[in-house]
Structure 1
Amino acid sequence: MARKPPSHRSRPPRRQMSGSKTEGTKRGRVTPKSEEDNATRMLHKKVKTAAGRKISSKLWIERQINDPYVRKAKEKGYRSRAAFKIEELDDKFGLIKQGSLVVDLGCAPGGWVQIALKRGADRVVGIDILPVDPIPGADLIELDFMDETAPDRIKALLGAEPDLVMSDLAANTTGHRQTDHLKTVALVEAAAEFAMQTLRPGGHFVTKVFQGGAEKKLLDRLKRNFQKVQHAKPESSRKGSPEIYLVALNLQGREE
């Protein structure tokens, strides 16, 4: 008697290959989302650790070369990625007007000065403790803004009340959190004091602040002197950065 061929049900089950189905794939095909993720991973550049280079330095360099705003700044000829921050703030609040006279506190390397001039400022007076390469249309002072002579030197160059005082001042960190906080608060207060003393009526003030915004005492003073005061964080400000910006619009008057 002839033996029957084995039924298909008696065949051993097919083994499923490991990794044949993964999240974001279908029948082995990569979805657009997976393609985008793969492309991002391929574009991300890593920096090799060189002898004597700290890990923190390696990570900073790696972050810089992979930052889209750093690339855009180079393409546009801006001196720093920070230029996009003042662009965004100007788009939202209308800080820079045609023919404006602008003061830039902490102006190095000059990105904010470039944007102010590009957007219609007639002249910019900038100050920084670091040297800044010349920019046509700008008067640049190499001096610590906290030097007692700094305000008078800025006013002498201005020759008139400015329309906008913008401050990107930041204290050098010591590693001691409370000390760094106090130094930052002092810079913000000094910038605000200068703005309230020098701005023309209707002028604006914008400054970088940290750790939840400006101190309540300073906010109260600004609200008494300006029509509108609020905090804002530009998209170009790194998500992990504690920085935000305080914007005070339309100076109404000065305290006695």
Structure 2
Amino acid sequence: MIYSIGFFSIIILIISKIANIKTYYYCHEPGDFKYYNFRNSWFKSIILLSLNYILIKICKEVVIPNKNYKSLYGKTTLYCPLQSNIVDFVSVINGSKVYDIGYLGTISKERGLSSSNFLSYSIGVLSNQKFNYKLPSNVEILSQLKFSDAKKNHFLKSCSVIFNLRDQPYNQSGVTMECLMSGVPVLTTTFDYYVSTYFSDLLPQILPAEINNISDEIIKQLVEMDSELKIQIALRAKSIFYNYPSNFFINLLENN
């Protein structure tokens, strides 16, 4: 089950517990509880977060993708990131349009993107540069619909760079790693642990406060990155990702 703070996930967990159904709760972003908030509804926020903490703790097993949070959920925790269907980096490099730069992400008030204003601001800032900026689809972004693998791969193939700018001092790590495994450089605010550790020599990064002063040179460095460097980024990202037991979760469900 994918982590959610919605009432639907809470109801499913309660039913599973009453029916004595063995439940595996996949906690997609276990450290993000503290970032969720509901404007003008602090009471709702407190209730939802408290219920989720309690229900996750009483589940039979908790499966999380980030070992840094394993201690939060005790001995029942299983650490296992799930494998994604990532487009092959060679086709991305061959299909890249040199000056196409894309944005991946959704607008969410709970995650710091309180309205389309920030996204519009980011687009406006970058549009002052002499590059072509594109969004997957305004409808998909504003409605928070998820990309299918096919749509995501098609979009990545059409971009030389993905920019992932947010009004929070962190970026969407999943977006970053998928792009890197596809051989697509990423322009982002503060990299997560794995990216900053293993890619600092290959990728520049900017601070959240500096998004209105992105230089032409930084963008040009990424847009015109040599194909060999893109391959190196993709191979390094895949090596990091596949070193984890990505099939463990699937085997666990099949054997139980």
**Of Structure 1 and Structure 2, which has the larger fraction of its residues in strand?**
1
Give yes or no for TM over 0.5.
no
Report TM bin, short chain.
0.3 to 0.5
**Of Structure 1 and Structure 2, which has the larger fraction of its residues in helix?**
2
Normalising by structure 1, report the TM-score.
Answer: 0.33
Normalising by structure 2, report the TM-score.
Answer: 0.33
Report which structure shows greater RCO (CA 8 Å, sep ≥6): 2
Q: Answer with 1 or 2: which has the greater Rg.
A: 1
